[in-house]
Amino acid sequence: MIDLHCHILPGLDDGPAGMEQSLDMAKQAVADGIQTLVATPHTLNEFYDNPLQHVEDNVNRLRKTFRKNRININVCTGSEVRICAGLKQKVIAKEVATLNNNGRYILVEFPVHVIPPGSKEELFQLKLHNITPILAHPERNLVFQHQPELLSDLTAMGCLVQITAMSITGRFGREAMECAHKLLKNRLSHVIATDAHSPTNRPPILSPAVQVCARILGSLKEAREMVVNRPQAILNGEPVKAPEPRPLCKKKWWFNWALPYPLPINHSTIYH
Ligand SMILES: [Fe+2]
């Protein structure tokens, strides 16, 4: 299996604090059957910058340490970039890391509570330059949880969707789990990744989520596509084959009025 989203570089963000924790995480990943993981430190969010060269230097250091400790796992360069103005220019200028440094796919994160104005235009600009955004864990975003049809707009534009393994198994709460399952059922998600941060609370383990996903999709083969073939195509910079999405069912009105809080932002505010 391939883990496309993993905070394994020590000291670069809110992932492992030191190399010992990174080694523990790598051992867990190997034990779970993960052969390749992509180091995706937070980038350009309010706390961390992590430019491409800095990430590459740290990936090389990690590879050497894994070899020295006889841990047999491939590590690729990557980043989890916060959506921001001028993202396309930053990618073209090689200021931020694309996945496997191939210039074709980039992992993009939204804030938890909102979709910032202008997001759709930024993603469209990336697509225009043949760079495919992969949206990191939209099932954990409050707006997408209540308006998953907004995600359909973005996938119709050519964006891909990454769901987090622990959302599928319920460790991020009921709302994230229900949203993840809905996205899976409607073929609005393309890859599963761990978004691991530590060997304890958020380890790099995919297998339990793949099992749940197989039950939801009714196919272990299709579930494994999400952790084997599609991530491999992404790392190779090749097109990703995925089934057509199914139309989303509208929520019944009695569920709508029962939402626990008003939506933080409305549709017309989200997209310009
Ligand atoms: Fe992440």
| List of residues 6+ apart from 247 with CB closer than 8 A | 186
CA–centroid distance, 187 to ligand 1, in Å, is 22
CA–centroid distance, 77 to ligand 1, in Å, is 14
Residue 35: C-alpha distances to residues 66, 193, 221, 249 (Å): 13, 13, 18, 37
Beta bridge partners of 134: 107, 160
CA–centroid distance, 242 to ligand 1, in Å, is 23
pLDDT digits (tens, 9 = 90+) for 123-139: 999 999 999 999 999 99
Q: What is the pLDDT of residue 242?
A: 85
**CA dist., res. 55 & res. 62, Å (int):** 10
Provide the 10 A C-beta neighbour count for residue 222.
16
Domain boundaries, position 90: 2-270
Q: Which two tokens stand for residue 214?
A: 């197989």
Would the pTM of this model clear 0.85, i.e. be above it?
yes
pLDDT digits (tens, 9 = 90+) for 184-202: 999 999 999 999 999 999 9
Kindly list the strands in the beta sheet with 74-77, ordered across the sheet, starting from the edge strand earlier in the chain.
2-6, 36-39, 74-77
**CA dist., res. 165 & res. 228, Å (int):** 14
Q: Are strands 160-164 and 42-43 parallel, antiparallel or unpaired?
A: unpaired
CA–centroid distance, 207 to ligand 1, in Å, is 18
Q: Are strands 74-77 and 42-43 parallel, antiparallel or unpaired?
A: unpaired
Supply the CATH number for residue 172's domain: 3.20.20.140
The total number of structural domains in the chain stands at 1
Q: Could you read off the pLDDT tens digit of each residue along the chain, which spans 272 residues?
A: 999 999 999 999 999 999 999 999 999 999 999 999 999 999 998 899 999 999 999 999 999 999 999 999 999 999 999 999 999 999 999 999 999 999 999 999 999 999 999 999 999 999 999 999 999 999 999 999 999 999 999 999 999 999 999 999 999 999 999 999 999 999 999 999 999 999 999 999 999 999 999 999 999 999 999 999 999 999 999 999 888 898 876 654 444 444 444 433 333 323 22
CA–centroid distance, 81 to ligand 1, in Å, is 9
pLDDT digits (tens, 9 = 90+) for 41-53: 999 988 999 999 9
CA–centroid distance, 251 to ligand 1, in Å, is 29
CA–centroid distance, 40 to ligand 1, in Å, is 7
pLDDT digits (tens, 9 = 90+) for 132-163: 999 999 999 999 999 999 999 999 999 999 99
DSSP assignment of the chain, as one string? -EEEEE--STTSSSS-SSHHHHHHHHHHHHHHT--EEEE--EESSSS----HHHHHHHHHHHHHHHHHTT---EEEE--EEEP-TTHHHHHHTT-SPPGGG-SSEEEEE--SS---TTHHHHHHHHHHTT-EEEEE-GGGSHHHHH-THHHHHHHHTT-EEEEEHHHHTTTT-HHHHHHHHHHHHTT---EEE--B--SSSS----HHHHHHHHHHHT-HHHHHHTTTHHHHHHHHTPPPP-PPPPPPPPPPHHHHTT-SS--SS-HHHH--
What residues have a C-beta under 5 A from ligand 1, the ion?
80, 195
